[in-house]
Structure formats: C-alpha cells, structure tokens
Structure 1
Amino acid sequence: MNTQSQGFEAVFGRAPEGQAAAPGRVNLLGEHTDYQGGFVLPTAIPQHTTVTVARNGTGQHRVYAADLDRQAGFAVSGADMAELPEFARYVAGALTLGGAREGLDVHVHSDVPMGAGLSSSAALEVAVLRALRGLGVYGGDDVALALAAQRVEHEFVGVLCGVMDQMASSLADAQHMLLLDTRSLDRRVLPLPAGAEVLVVDSGVPRTLAGSGYNTRRAEVEEAARLLGVPELRDVQDVAAVEELPLPLRARARHVVTENARVLQAVEADAAGFGALMNASHRSLRDDYEVSHPQVDALVAALQALPDVFGARMTGAGFGGALVALVRTGTAASVGAAAIQAVGGQGQVVVPAQT
C-alpha cells in the first residue's frame, strides 16, 4: 500500500495526540559566520515541516517520513545512528535530547525543499522538539529548544553547524529579519528594507552538509583564529590583520571578517544599499570561501542583471542549493521566472511559494 499521501491515522491506525510545525529559513546576509561567533540576518520562509505524534505504549519509536514514503524504527533506550536512514537520525536525536522516555509514533510532512540550503534539517529538529513540548515531555523555551536542535546536528548527524539555522527556525517569521549575535544570542526583529521583498530560487543542484566541505571550512577558520591569537574571527575588527595568514586560511578569514561587517552595515541600509552588500557577499563566498557552484553563480549573475533586483547571492552552506535576492516589491515571481529562463530553465522559485 502506498502511504505517501496518507496522514498519521492511515499510517499508524489511530488518532494523534499532538502536532507542531517549524519553518525553513533563508539567510539574507551573514553566511558562514555563525560558527565563529558572528552576526547573521536570516528570515523564515513560508514553507514548514509538520510533525504529528502520539505515544504508542512500547519501548520503540516509529517514524514515518511522508515525503520520502519511508519508515524507520529504533529503541527508546538508544539507536545506532549508523543503522538509521539520515532523516531518522534527526528525529532520533531530537527525541533523545527532548527527553522522550516512552515510545512515540512520529509522522513527518514537509514542504521545505531538501538539499537546497533552506534548513530543512533545522525545521525538522525544531518541529520534533515543539511536538515534545506540546506533549509536556520537553520544557525548554524557544532559545533552549534551538540550542538542543543544534546539538542534534553535532551529536547525532555529525555536522558541526553554528546555531543560526535552529535559532531562525525557532524564533523568526517570514515578514521580518532576525538580527542575531550568535555569540551572545542577543537578537532584534527588523523590517525588510522599504520597497523590497525576498525572492528565493532553488538552483536544482543538491548538496549535503556532512558530505561537503562544510566541516573543512570550519576547521580552516578555527585554525585561522588560532594563528591570529583570537578566540574567534568575530574578534578581528581590522580585515588587514588576516593578510599575514597563509592561503587558504587568509581568504577564509577575510570572508568571515568582511561578512560580519556587511551584516552590521545592512541594519541601517536602504534596499539599494542592502542589495549591494548581498552582491559583495556572493563575491566573497565564491572567491574567498569557495563554497559556490557554477550553476548558482549563473543564476546569481542573471538576477543581478535584472532592473528590479537590488542584489542577489547564494545562501546556505553552499556547494549547490539555493540563492536569495532582494527585489522590488511585487516583482519576485516575475523576476525569478526571468532569471531561470536566462539560464536555460534550470532552477525553481521557492519564495514566493508556488501554488
């Protein structure tokens, strides 16, 4: 029986006890700075991951991913991560850190694109923890929940991510930007620049964080900070200081230092100024951090050439995935379609959501 389009009751044979959802996110500025204590500026996207749960009275958790039409089961007492499919590792980690001590049936449905750099994993982690909170199993507030979700990535999936994705999924909304200091976790909710809206395009080039250069980049900037004698590159105020480093550490550190500065400048920028900072961010990610992809670069260039676009860049960890643009209000759908046509039809508009 094909259960792909079926809900919780069809899969597990009884009614659920609770449900929770969490959004994906797109980062407007501040890429690859959160694991160096830096500043980030994400916003939530309209797409969500929804988790429906019920206790099952056994010592086993059962998970069904509707969008993959896959099931997995593992003991409440602990699971061998190597034996679980990737989607189930996120759920297993969240259930463990969320304090689930009795078996749960978990149904997952998501319209957050996977492999596009829009934090489908963070949305899943946050949604599971929110569902546990709804059952009275987990008691953490929104910040504690985000930190627990980050631990899932570190301890159960093996991705040494910063905290931006989980904080954005837990705290952001799709109408505002979240200015986040990832060291102190101080944050402010800010409006988008006047006269502008967000466009997100999936390049169609999938990427996986654990199998990409993400952990390598993190190790490189940690070594750069060590050589500069600072706890994190967040503490470097003058970009000239990184020029004494050997390559590629010099280029990696230059990106982080200049990207932090761009986020702080963007807070007071109008749409044109914000867009210019996005364009500069893409150049830095492409040339200094080397995490872009030719197909992403082509889409970014196509967007930047259009008159209604203030600025555009890759977003997320890179090596494929999505790109984000700030465009004139009311033009996002048409601008996205024009850019995709300009590169031969490769790519898909994610925001505004397609109906």
Structure 2
Amino acid sequence: MESFVIKVPARINILGNPSDANEGAHQTISCAINLWAQAKVEPAEKIILENQGSGNQMELESASGLEIKSDHEFRFILASLKLLLQTSEELSEKIKANSGLKISYQSEVPKQSGLGGSTLLVHIGLLALVYFYELDRKKHNLYFLAELTQRIEEQELGITCGFADRYVPLLGDIAYIDYRGKLFHQPINQEPYCAYEKLGAYVEHPPLVVAFTGLEHQSGDVHKRMRSLYLEEFKGFKGDYENAPFMVRQMKKIGDTAWKGKIALLESDWRRFGALMDENHKLVDEMMRYCGFKQGAGELNNKIIELGKGLGALGGKLTGAGGGGSVFFLSFPGEEEKLAEELRNHFEKMGLAQAQVWVPSIVRQGAVVLEK
C-alpha cells in the first residue's frame, strides 16, 4: 500500500445538544467545520505511531493484547486498533499477513476545546487501518466506523460524549441527526444507526463565529454526570413529558430546538434561528446547575455569550459541553468578520491570551483520504 493522508474535520453542535449524549430519542443540528486533524500513513516494518505535535513516537511489536492507560499519549489510536481488531476478522487476518504501518498525526483543534478533538484521533486510527489494509469498505462503512468510535471512547477510554461527535467528522456537511432508539448504547447492530440528513444543498451557510476561550475542559466529565442523572430519572418516565422528571422534560425541550431550528434554517429565518440557540443555551445552563455544576454552563462561557449578544449577535451557545471550551454565535449575514474582530479586541482587554476567534466554513464531504 502506498502512503496517503487522512484529514478529519472538527464539529459544532448548533442546536439540540446535548440530547445526542444524554437521551438518544431526540435530535440535533450539527456541522463539520474547517478545523482539521490529519495524519500521514505509510508502510513500515512495525506499527509505529508518531505525534507530530510533541515529536514523540512509539513502536508496537504486536497488535495483540493491548493494555491502554487513561493518560497514555497514544491512547486514542491504540484504542481504535484494539477494538477494530476485536470486531473485524478481516483486519486480524491482514495485519498478520502484511507489514506494519506508520501513522504520523497532528491536530489544529485546540485541546479540550469542546470541538470533539479527541474523537478525531480515533477516527484517524480507524480510517488509517481500513484504508491501509484495504478492508471491505461496505462492511467497514462510515456509519459503522462512527458507531465503533462511540464504543471505543465509552468502553475503552471512559469518555462520555454525544453521537454527533462520532458521526459529523466522518459524514460532514450541516446535518439534522436523529438519535431515536440509541438511549441505552446497545452493542453495534442491536440498535439503530443515527439517521443523518444532510441539509447543505437546501440551506444557506449559517453566518457563524466560533470563540475558544483558551480554557481547557473535559467534556466527558460534564456528559458523564448529566447522562447518569438522566438515566436515573428516565426510570420514572411514564411517557408524559408534561409530568416527566426534570432531566427528561428538559432534554425534550432541548431536542425540540433542533426540529424547530431545521424549519428556520430552511427558511433562512436567522432571527428565529438565533432565538432558538439562546433557548438551547438557557435550557442547558439550567440543567447543568440542576446536575450540580454551580456555574451552570460556566461563568466565563456565559459572560462571553452575553458579550457577543451585546455586540449584535443574534444568538450564542456552547459548541459542546460546558465548563470551559468554546462558544459560538450567529451573526447577521455578512457581519461575521466584524463580530469576530470585536470579540478578539474584547478578549485582549479581558486578558484571555490563549483565546482564539474565527469564522468557520462548513466542510461538506467530512473526512477525506488523499491517496498519492
């Protein structure tokens, strides 16, 4: 196999999150953006992993019997190798019969920024193995790889995140994603795959501005606490949302912002779309306080969202989970760069030296493999 390059985009959850992580019976609007993790994959005598960011490298004598520590630098790609070996007989056979490979990766996604950065490394590991060892693309399709990524992160790495994180970087575009039937995270093929409706051909590009505060956070820590409480309260749910436990009722309201937002998006009703973003954020902030996060979605996050609204944004919310990470705004069409520059100026005055602000583009195709 010749060398090739893999590129995987980050994601933003625009509306409806975190119903992709906590419930599974609702929906989100999510999109892939032009912020990338990438890797060069080439033949080697052994299996070699290289983090181009740190310059560190590791070699594997064997792919069998992998033990993965939670703080291991290469844990994401090691975990993808471990679980794909367990689920793919074809890979097990081909990895024994062929030489090794070298995966040299890097990412421009800020660490723990709420943009799904850890998931991208799992995607890179899976795509590298599927393409290098020329595995059956029908059996190892992108939906299957998205589902396997969820199991890798949850079961092997102890990370609780939403299904949007696992699907959007692979499939791309701006999409309306339905998670019905996925509440209990059953084994693959024992629950539905996500229903992934690409909207890019039907809607205008949303005028978005993303702001990373510079504060790192573990989104899985937030999701884990919320999902645990949700599942506990779901036991008492009798199907009546009006009289449902708080978490169940709140998640229904959050998920509803997505189907309402789809209608607004198709009509380019940006004021309505921005108002739904605000509603989504308010509901999440309330839910996080209920779950024991005293500052809700995060004191700085809430402050920055208010700042953006004061600068003219039509709406603002988290890109993923709260605590630190990133927020994003909807501006009037054509005013994205103006809002971004004003935010940069305010961040400088606030002493947020590590903050970053940019105007994203939607990546239509999702992950790409560039063969040489």
Q: TM-score range by the shorter chain?
A: 0.7 to 0.9
* Contact 1:205 1:295 survives alignment (8 Å): no
Aligned to 1:241: 243
Distance 1:165 1:76 in 2: 26
Q: Per-residue deviation at 1:165?
A: 0.6
Q: Does the aligned pair in 1 maintain the 2:219–2:320 contact within 8 Å?
A: no
Q: How do residues 168-187 of structure 1 correspond to structure 2 at under 5 angstroms? A: 168-173=168-173, 177-183=174-180, 184=192, 185-187=194-196
Which residues of 2 match residues 1-355 of structure 1 at below 5 A? 17-35=3-21, 36-37=23-24, 38-58=26-46, 61-74=47-60, 75-82=62-69, 85-99=71-85, 101=95, 103-139=100-136, 140-173=140-173, 177-183=174-180, 184=192, 185-191=194-200, 194=204, 196-210=206-220, 212-229=221-238, 238=241, 240-242=242-244, 245=245, 250=246, 252-269=247-264, 270-290=269-289, 291-307=296-312, 309-342=313-346, 344-346=350-352, 347-352=355-360
Q: What amino acid is aligned across from residue 357 of structure 2 in structure 1?
A: V
Determine helix, strand or coil for the equivalent of 1:77.
Answer: coil
SS of the residue 2:162 aligns to: coil
State how far apart, in whole Å, the 2-side matches of 1:296 and 1:73 are: 41
8 A contact 1:112–1:118 mirrored in 2: yes
| TM-score of the two chains, using structure 2 as the length reference | 0.78
In 2, Cα distance between equivalents of 1:86 and 1:334: 41
- Partner SS, residue 330 of structure 2: strand
- Unaligned 5+ segments in structure 2 are 86-90, 181-191, 290-295, 362-372
Offset, 1:225: 0.9
Change (3 A) 1:274 1:167: same
Paired AA for residue 70 in structure 1: N
* Preserved CA contact (<8 Å) 1:199 1:327: yes
CA contact (8 A) 2:340 2:359 kept: no
C-alpha distance in 1, partners of 2:141/2:131? Answer: 12
User: Against the structure 1 CA distance between its residues 255 and 73, is the aligned structure 2 distance closer, same or farther, given a 3 Å change threshold?
Assistant: farther
Check the 8 A contact 1:195/1:329 in 2, yes or no: no
Distance 1:352 1:299 in 2: 18
What one-letter code is carried by the residue in structure 1 that aligns with 2:237?
Answer: L
Indicate the SS of the match to 2:288: coil
Q: Deviations over 1:54-110 (max 9, x none)?
A: 34333xx3211112333334441132212x744411101112233453543210111
Question: Which amino acid in the other structure matches residue 265 of structure 1?
Answer: K
Equivalent-residue separation in structure 1 for 2:236 and 2:43 (angstroms):
51
Q: CA deviation at 1:237?
A: 6.5
Is the alpha carbon distance of 1:147 and 1:87 closer, same or farther for their aligned partners in structure 2, counting shifts above 3 Å?
farther
Q: Which piece of structure 1 moves more, 276-285 or 84-93?
A: 84-93
**Segment drifting more, 199-208 vs 323-332:** 323-332
Corresponding residue pairs, total = 317
Please report the TM-score for the alignment, with normalisation by the length of structure 1: 0.82
Instruction: Map Cα deviations across residues 311-352 of structure 1 (whole Å, 9 max, x no partner).
Output: 111121222100111112232232123134335252311434
* 8 A Cα contact 1:98 1:138, kept in partner: no
Equivalent position amino acid for 2:306 in 1: A
| Percentage identity across paired residues of the two chains | 22
User: More relative contact order in 1 or in 2 (CA 8 Å, sep 6+)?
Assistant: 2
Alpha-carbon distance, 1:287 to partner: 1.8
In structure 2, distance between residues paired with 1:332 and 1:21:
26
Ranges in structure 1 where 5+ consecutive residues have no aligned partner: 1-14, 230-235
**Residue 150 of structure 1, CA deviation:** 1.3
Q: Is the 8 A contact 1:90 1:156 kept in 2?
A: no
What is the alpha-carbon root mean square deviation over aligned residues?
2.3
Contact 1:315 1:322 in 2 (8 A): yes
Secondary structure (helix, strand or coil) at the match of 2:40 reads: strand
Q: Which amino acid aligns with 1:30?
A: G
Work out the CA distance in 2 between the residues paired with 1:129 and 1:26.
21
